Amino acid sequence: MPHVSHLASPSRFKALTYGALISLLLLLSGVAELWSSYQTTIAQGHAQARMESLLFSEWMRQDFREVELLQNMVAEQLEENDFQADQPVAERTALESRLVRAMRGVPQAYDMILVDRNCQLVLSFKVSPGFDARERSYCKAMLSPSKEDRFVSERFKGASGDLVVMATQRVRGVDGRVIGLLGTVIRTSHFQQLIDRTLVGGHHDVMAFADTRMQLLARQPLLSPMPVEPVNDPEARSMLQRGDVEASYEYTSNLDKRTRLHSMRKVERLPLLVTVGIDKETLLAPWRNKAWLMLGGWLICTLLLAMGVRRYQRNTELNDALATRSVAIDHAAEAIIIANGKGHVEYVNPAFVQMTGYRSEEICGQRKLEDVLLAEHPQFKPVLQSTILGGEIWRGELSSHNRAGQLYFETISVAPVMSAEGRLLRMVAIKHDVSDAKKLQADLIRLANTDELTSLYNRRQFMQRCTEEIARGQRWERPLSLAMLDLDHFKLLNDRYGHAFGDEVLRTFASCCQASVRIEDVCGRLGGEEFAILLPDTDRYTATQIMERVRQAVAALQLDNPQGGEPVYFTVSIGISELYPGDATATPMMARADAALYLAKQEGRNQVRAG
């Protein structure tokens, strides 16, 4: 029997060895699977953070784009005397009214300020004029030799005691010289309101806005109170020092001691940062559950079962992540379109349906992204394709029509989502309706160039047209005439029948002038009852004939007497001057026309005289 024992011992050893080898192979297979799953989960967390930070940075950039449009419109209307502290009360009141109307179009504007080129505060709705802003970064930016006229400051405590960010723009005169600074003040509470409307994925996930000094502007979840000192984030500071626009890293917060997968992105052309932090512990919770499951069942489960469980959990995690992002995108105010790497549209949010009128099933899987965005502008398709394939963001401002044929204006940004190998995975497009901003811009231009009562050119625009026509006339040696018109006894009419009747006289007179002159002639109200008409390509003799026609048409007008009785008639006196070879501005012409007008008044009114 000893030989039996001798033979059995190697068999048991072999069985134990085989068993140990099989167990070791299963264990190694399980460990390898867990490691791969860990890497995949971490990669998905970084990808999710990158996509969300990209969307949030675009929203932030669009927010400041509205402020930029507002400042462009307001800056075009400002003149050098608007930056003078001793500006007349009437002009200052009109300037303040324009700024108030402009601020209504951009709700994020808490205040608008004007600072002269000596860094003295000239106008503000929150701070008394005279504040010395030389130590402020926005004023230093104005005085710097940089050619960039726009500047956005870091967070600072304003004179009113609020934590604010200042978006500024240099204002230049007609000669290109800087005459002052226009600033829009945005409180950090606006950024908190913006971020509070955003849905982040997990309970411990974080989204925050900060400036380039790492001073927090807003954070979700909200910290109370908000830290005053800059956040100590070495990775973020390293990104800023390298000049990168994006960084992905793992960081343990000093505020709540939780480790997160961060994607930090610098907002284009702004000293602002958007960071999205996916909580690592929450992200790895499914992975930990999987590890315990495999640890408890690795002796009794086959490799096929383990692979099946892994595939199921991976799909579940992916579906949960997609559902979380879908909720955030579905509640976005902007229209969002997501396409695959080949350009086929996979998703549109409800805001897109509301903006365009096209249903989701008519777009998704049926049309390509470039056809949806540029159906009315096919000339931009090659530029869009080359920009996206180059890994860059394409932006455009276009006019489009919705399904009902209604015209609207929009800004479009299309961003690529690239793999680590540089392969195009997705395209994310954001459409923002700027029709209201465009309408506001047109209204501001009209108010800046026309007289509100008569709808004629105001003095500023009329003088600009005079300058253009004088330059054209001198260059091509063409005749040019200027007529000054003044209503006779207008003050008596105003005093006798009231200001409302006087306004009706001015409107009727303005309509008569426009109907009596030629299309190319320029009519303007210079102030009160004083009007002027510029007649291009017209010598003094022809101008006299045209103005005589105007005088006769005015004399034939009659208005109902507001007090009853006979209709009210009124007349006009007109003085004419012709462009002389030495005239470089409208001043000499206006002086000669005024002298002729004075002569017409002296000779009995209701006359046309040429000077």
Domain count, the chain: 3
pLDDT > 50? residue 2: no
Q: Is the pLDDT of residue 197 over 90?
A: no
| pTM for the structure as a whole | 0.44
pLDDT of residue 1: 37
With cut-offs at 50, 70 and 90, classify the pLDDT of residue 4: very low
What is the distance between the alpha carbons of residues 40 and 304, in angstroms, rounded to a whole number?
20
Residues 508 and 602 reside in one and the same domain: yes
Answer yes or no: is 325 within a domain: no
| Shared domain check, 460 and 404 | no
Contact 99, 163 (CB under 8 A): no
370 in any annotated domain: yes
Residue 61 shares a structural domain with residue 203: yes
Query: Region 407-426: what's the mean pLDDT?
Result: 87
Mean pLDDT for the stretch of residues 390-396: 89
Examine the domain organization and report whether 386 and 483 are in the same domain. no
* pLDDT greater at residue 575 or residue 421: 575
Query: What letter represents residue 213's amino acid?
Result: R
Report pLDDT for 277.
Answer: 87
| Domain boundary residue, one of 439, 465, 492 | 439
- H/E segment holding residue 280: helix 280-283
C-alpha to C-alpha distance for 332 and 317, rounded to whole angstroms? 23
Residues 205 and 100 in one domain: yes
131 located within any domain: yes
Verify that 390 and 249 share a domain, yes or no. no
Encode pLDDT of 177-190 as tens digits. Answer: 888 999 899 888 88
**Which of 439, 466, 488 delimits the end of a domain?**
439
Among 439, 473, 506, where does a domain finish?
Answer: 439
Q: Is 529 a catalytic residue?
A: yes
Domain containing 223 — which CATH number? 3.30.450.20
pLDDT at residue 313, rounded to an integer? 59
Q: Over 60: is that where the pLDDT of 308 sits?
A: no
Asked if the model's pLDDT at residue 3 lies above 50, the reply is no
Output the CA angle 540-546-549, nearest 5 degrees: 140
Residue 327, domain member (yes or no): no
Looking at the structure, tell me whether residues 393 and 458 fall in a common domain: no
> Collapsing DSSP states into helix, strand and coil, what is residue 330?
helix
pLDDT of residue 320: 66
What local confidence, expressed as pLDDT, does residue 468 receive? 93
pLDDT digits (tens, 9 = 90+) for 502-560: 999 999 999 999 999 999 999 999 988 899 999 999 999 999 999 999 999 999 999 99
**Candidates 33, 52, 317, 529; catalytic one:** 529
Note whether residue 252 is domain-resident: yes
Comparing 129-133, 216-220, 328-332, 375-379, the range with the smallest average pLDDT is: 328-332
Please list, in sequence order, all residues whose beta carbon lies within 8 angstroms of the beta carbon of residue 282, skipping any fewer than 6 positions away.
Answer: 202, 203, 204, 205
Q: Quick one: average pLDDT of 96-106? A: 85
* Res. 446: pLDDT tops 80: no
- Both 136 and 211 in one domain: the answer is yes
- Domain assignment present for residue 304? The answer is no
Residues 175 and 279 grouped into a single domain: yes
Domain at 563, CATH number: 3.30.70.270
Say yes or no: 22 and 150 in one domain: yes
Tell me: pLDDT of 597 over 80. Answer: yes
Domain range for 406: 333-439
Arithmetic mean of pLDDT over the chain: 85
Give the pLDDT mean for 211-229.
80
- Within-domain flag for 303: no
Band the pLDDT of 69: cuts 50, 70, 90: confident
The tokens for 453 are 């009562």
d(CA 350, CA 328): 12
Rounded mean pLDDT, 252-264: 84
Encoded tokens for 131: 């504040």
Residue 308 lies in a domain: no
On whether both 27 and 138 belong to a single domain, the answer is: yes
* Mean pLDDT of all residues in 163-183: 88
Task: Pick the range with the lowest mean pLDDT from 91-100, 564-573, 587-596.
Answer: 91-100
Residue 198 and residue 172 in one domain: yes
